[in-house]
Structure 1
Amino acid sequence: MDPIATAQYGMLAASRRFEASATRVVQMGVEDVDVDLPGEIVEQITAKHEFSANAAVIRTSQDMVGDLLDILA
């Protein structure tokens, strides 16, 4: 299992969640569209943290590979 590929997919999923939530917030001014603003804020904060966590996985994985290469060199 490749942790970098998994984290990249997680970053993509988090980006899509954030974008979908932002699109719903933009529609607040449209008639007959009910938007739960507090729920959308929570969704965006959660997506932001998911993206950051996946980025940390990538950084950690790259650091570990670098350390391994240093040991083997």
Structure 2
Amino acid sequence: MNAISTAYQGIVSASNRFDKAASSTVKNASDGKDILTDLVEQIDSRTAFEANISVFKAADAMLGKLLDIKT
């Protein structure tokens, strides 16, 4: 498995986690329940999303350099 596809899967996973936590936040807030865990999950998934974007960009840059070397 290459870095770009791994990063892409991480981006999708983090996005799904964020969406789930955001929905849970709204539900729990409207029910008067604690939303702290949901907020922490949103922050964690955002950080994972950003990290995977960085991996994607780095892998793309490395692939570009490799293609430049081969031509």
Considering the TM-score relative to the shorter chain, is it more than 0.5?
yes
- The one-letter amino acid of 1:29's match is S
Q: 5 Å matches for 1:46-57?
A: 46-57=44-55
- Cα RMSD (Å) of the superposition? 1.3
Structure 2: segments with no counterpart, 5+ residues:
none
Q: Residue 35 of structure 2 corresponds to which residue in structure 1? A: 37
What do the CA deviations read for 1:8-67 (whole angstroms, capped 9, x no partner)? 11111101110111111111213xx73x32211111010001001111111001100111
Q: Residue 23 of structure 2 corresponds to which residue in structure 1? A: 23
Q: How many residues align?
A: 70
TM-score normalized by the length of structure 2 = 0.87
Structure 1: segments with no counterpart, 5+ residues:
none
- The one-letter amino acid of 1:18's match is F
Percentage of identical aligned residues: 37
